[in-house]
Structure 1
Amino acid sequence: MRTTELVDGFRQSAPYVNAHRGKTFVVMLGGEAISQPGFHDIINDIALLNSLGIKIVLVYGARPQINSSIDNAGLSSEYHKRIRVTDDSLLSLIKQVAGGLMLDITARLSMSLSNTPMQGAQINVISGNFVIAQPLGIDEGVDYHHTGKVRRIDVSGISRQLDSHGIVLLGPIAASITGESFNLTAEEIATQVAIKLKADKMIGFSDSNGIADEAGNIIAELMPNDAQAIYEQMDQDDDACSATLAFLNAAITAARAGVPRSHLVSYQINGSLLQELFSRDGIGTQIVTEPAEKLRSATIGDIGGILDTIRPLEEQGLLVRRSREQLEMEIDHFIIIERDGLVIGCAALYPFTEDQVGEFACLAVHPQYRDADRGAMLLKHILLKARKQNYKRVFALTTRSIHWFMEQGFQLGTVEDLPSQKQALYNYQRKSKILVFSL
């Protein structure tokens, strides 16, 4: 019986459901996303995250809605250093817009009709004075009036609500210790909340599905410095990419302050949030913290470190012995994990291009670093590399690690599953088990 796409999807997403349960996500919904026809689908997906045990802080913005209301009211809006100056008349209007959106979002999250994905859901949406603001003050003679910035985050208050399985909803208006209201940016609120809560992820939406390279391909992952370089090259005055610019800047700040991952996905693609979080390859761009360890392609200079890493396993008979000369010839097939200049892990992908198959081989991790899934990290990178080569499958030969490979999604195979060139070299005396991963 052939499995359906639905069944396959459930099975592939299960590990991510388990990994995300109990984690804290800060979701930033810009006004651009709220104005989209597919906004109700985004809200449904956020509600689904809550039902899966993920703690959600939802921060919404209202920039386009505020601009539209200002135009309709015949008012003008002054800017200084790309920051809106909020005088008394604008503050009154912005409070109306922000308050209306808060009620609309709360109503959406309260929906539980039988013909919607939120059937039977009972979500508590909590808004309150969790963000304390302070005025920006006067800069170069320009008084920002009621434009403010974050002074303090009530971390314990937010955490209590999240622990009670509620969704905390925060808007762009926050009160100060003097009882005044200030207009803040959603990006700053989301960033500061993510940092102070030590959130596991910050998620944002834009019209594009992540950050594209010069060829137009979405970049799956960026370090803060690389993201900063891209940000500085983007047109700061381009309204079309304002949401991308705002989130990218926020994600860089969050990453440098310790937020592990920030995801940028498109509000124009239905289900992009779920695809990013619950699929193996994702769909958008992640900005990740600078790691103490680096996973990279190996070079000739790494051969000594690779030999030190694999020799103990070779002596135990767990790996086939490789000479320095052989490694020099095969170094382009290797990736390594480097920590403080030392090689602490390695793996290789040997190509069998004619058969569109790759061999995952020579997996080794230093004994002191075997408790943090570095083997799985190396495997993930090898599988990504194989997909880019358009391989149909990856195989591995092992005598001791059969269950580990099966836990990673490999299935037992036979000699006939090997490419013909490898079949001719198969060592029947060693009796290695053959594991196959279909791509």
Structure 2
Amino acid sequence: MQTPNIETAQATTHQYVQWFRNTAPYINAHRGKTFVLMFGGEAVRHANFQHIIHDIALLHSLGIKLILVHGARPQINDNLQEKALISPIHINRRVTTRESLGCVMNAVGSIRLQIEALLSMGLANSPMYGARIDVVSGNFVTAKPYGIRDGVDFQLTGEVRSIDTDAIQRHLENHNIVLLGPTGYSTTGEVFNLLAEEVATKTATSLKADKLIFLGSQQGLFDEHGHLLREITPHQLDQHIEKYRDSNFEIALHLENAKRASLNGVNRVHLLSYAYDGALIEELFTRDGTGTMITDAHYEEVRTANIHDVGGLITLLRPLEEEGILVYRSRERLENEIDKFAVIERDGTVLACAALYPIPQAENEISSAEIACVAVHPEYRKSNRGGQIMHFLEEKARSLGIEQLFVLTTRTAHWFLENGFSHASVDDLPEARQALYNYQRNSLVFKKTI
């Protein structure tokens, strides 16, 4: 007999193996892609930062091209306080005097060296063992003066003029990590203090990066009930920006730049917590992630299935077929009928499906169709994906001139009633469908006029 400890260890190992297998689609999808990762000086100081560095090394080892952009606000504040210098803040931006520029450069240089040192660790029994990472910094950011705003001269505070994307791309192709800070250089040789968030956003949009990731002080965005918003469009950010503008400028700045990046070609922007151990890994290698994703793309649109979805359909349908909830369909049948199916798919996983089968029409019969194979992934059955896919098929039926829909079910009668169907009988079915009715299954019949 196995001892409880051995059983527990085996269960843990099995969970790990399953998780590792489930990461394969994400590893393949992310390989060779370009990610810009921004974190502030607060993140650098946090106890979890060393774990973030380990995860960055892991992403690099998986073939992801990384540009790191760090901030330095608290470190600059400490340097200013130590030297008893005043660098006023106006409209949430530091006025960088010539006397305070040294404090900025000292803080930025110190953080750069700290990150380079952490990425160079290769101690045995550490996550960095065996990792060979070359980190490249340089004058990749050209800046210009922020100028005079509201009568205030911002002096050596600047904004991004351009990013040397060609040089950055060369370093990325050579498998280097590129490290940028909140400083830029003018064509006259001056150094300007910049907002790290703007450096990250300009870099991401100029490179047409696949992802821009902000590591901030909270996990993501939450609704009025305190529930994490896992996905949001850039146009929905305005209310959140206003909410945080006075209470948490860092988050407001992240959101403003997330919106800007998303509307300028960065398909996915992520908001994560730097305090959450493993946030990067969980966000990038699991289906639901751990933070908030901003995207202007149709991330989970309902679409007509294609031959590449057959494997996903089988995975979704087989458990329901084995329980007797759905009628068994062979792979060959699914392939032959694939154009009848609609799916909701995310990152290669079919989350929901249903099929529309027009029913041959006898003389004087109303044009009808059957909706079959309605299935939703177990983890998403409390969502509205079933309703979305039904709506899609109803619209498709209307476009085909179909006036009446039927469904046959043994287990989910109430769900169809909630979605506008009403009780019917076998006798209500069109003649062609009555002839195929399986009396052994004794399915309930529902219909809906559209």
Map of 1:207 onto structure 2: 217
Taking the aligned partners of 1:195 and 1:120, their CA distance within structure 2 comes to 33
Q: CA-atom RMSD, angstroms? A: 3.8
Q: Deviation of residue 208 (structure 1)?
A: 1.4
User: Which of 164, 170, 183 is the matching residue for 1:173?
Assistant: 183
**In structure 2, do the counterparts of structure 1 residues 114 and 195 end up closer, same or farther at CA, with 3 Å as the change threshold?**
same
Q: Radius of gyration: which is bigger? A: 2
User: Which of 255, 262, 276 is the matching residue for 1:248?
Assistant: 255
Determine if contact 1:210/1:219 at 8 Å carries over to the other structure: yes
Taking the aligned partners of 1:31 and 1:138, their CA distance within structure 2 comes to 27
Matched, 1:380 2:351: yes
Taking the aligned partners of 1:200 and 1:51, their CA distance within structure 2 comes to 18
Determine if contact 2:217/2:274 at 8 Å carries over to the other structure: yes
Equivalent position SS for 1:215: coil
Q: 1:23-63 CA distances to partner (integer Å, 9 max, x unpaired)?
A: 00000011111110110000110111001000000000011
Q: 1:116-152 CA distances to partner (integer Å, 9 max, x unpaired)?
A: 1110111000000111111111223211110001111
Equivalent position SS for 1:270: coil
1:113-132 to 2 correspondence within 5 Å?
113-132=123-142
Map of 1:235 onto structure 2: 244
Matched, 1:104 2:111: no
User: Which of 403, 416, 421 is the matching residue for 2:411?
Assistant: 421
Equivalent position SS for 1:421: coil
Structure 1: which amino acid aligns with 2:379? R
Determine if contact 1:224/1:290 at 8 Å carries over to the other structure: no
Q: Deviation of residue 81 (structure 1)?
A: 1.6
Taking the aligned partners of 2:188 and 2:111, their CA distance within structure 1 comes to 25
Q: 1:141-176 CA distances to partner (integer Å, 9 max, x unpaired)?
A: 211110001111111100000000000000111111
Matched, 1:134 2:144: yes
Matched, 1:48 2:58: yes
**In structure 2, do the counterparts of structure 1 residues 15 and 142 end up closer, same or farther at CA, with 3 Å as the change threshold?**
same
**In structure 2, do the counterparts of structure 1 residues 77 and 198 end up closer, same or farther at CA, with 3 Å as the change threshold?**
same
Q: Deviation of residue 72 (structure 1)?
A: 2.5
**In structure 2, do the counterparts of structure 1 residues 290 and 18 end up closer, same or farther at CA, with 3 Å as the change threshold?**
closer
Map of 2:40 onto structure 1: 30
Equivalent position SS for 1:376: strand
Equivalent position SS for 1:196: helix
Map of 2:270 onto structure 1: 263
TM-score, normalised by the number of residues in structure 2: 0.68
Q: Deviation of residue 388 (structure 1)?
A: 4.7
Structure 1: which amino acid aligns with 2:202? Q
1:10-409 to 2 correspondence within 5 Å?
10-232=20-242, 234-238=243-247, 241-291=248-298, 295=301, 376-377=345-346, 379-380=350-351, 386-389=378-381
Structure 2: which amino acid aligns with 1:380? L
Determine if contact 1:12/1:280 at 8 Å carries over to the other structure: no
Q: Deviation of residue 82 (structure 1)?
A: 1.4
Equivalent position SS for 1:265: strand
Q: Deviation of residue 290 (structure 1)?
A: 4.8
Taking the aligned partners of 1:217 and 1:384, their CA distance within structure 2 comes to 22
**In structure 2, do the counterparts of structure 1 residues 166 and 88 end up closer, same or farther at CA, with 3 Å as the change threshold?**
same
Same amino acid, percent of matched pairs = 42
Instruction: Report the count of equivalent residues.
Output: 343
Taking the aligned partners of 2:45 and 2:57, their CA distance within structure 1 comes to 18
Q: 1:246-275 CA distances to partner (integer Å, 9 max, x unpaired)?
A: 211111000010100011111111101100
Structure 2: which amino acid aligns with 1:421? R
Equivalent position SS for 1:40: helix
Determine if contact 1:106/1:125 at 8 Å carries over to the other structure: yes
Taking the aligned partners of 1:40 and 1:384, their CA distance within structure 2 comes to 40
Taking the aligned partners of 1:166 and 1:225, their CA distance within structure 2 comes to 35
Taking the aligned partners of 2:100 and 2:343, their CA distance within structure 1 comes to 53
Determine if contact 1:358/1:386 at 8 Å carries over to the other structure: no
Taking the aligned partners of 1:87 and 1:138, their CA distance within structure 2 comes to 13
Structure 2's unaligned 5+ residue stretches are 1-9, 311-315, 354-374, 387-408, 413-425, 427-435, 442-450
User: Which of 11, 17, 30 is the matching residue for 1:7?
Assistant: 17
Determine if contact 1:224/1:256 at 8 Å carries over to the other structure: yes
Q: 1:388-429 CA distances to partner (integer Å, 9 max, x unpaired)?
A: 5469xx9xxxxxxxxxxxxxxxxxxxxxxxx9638xx99779
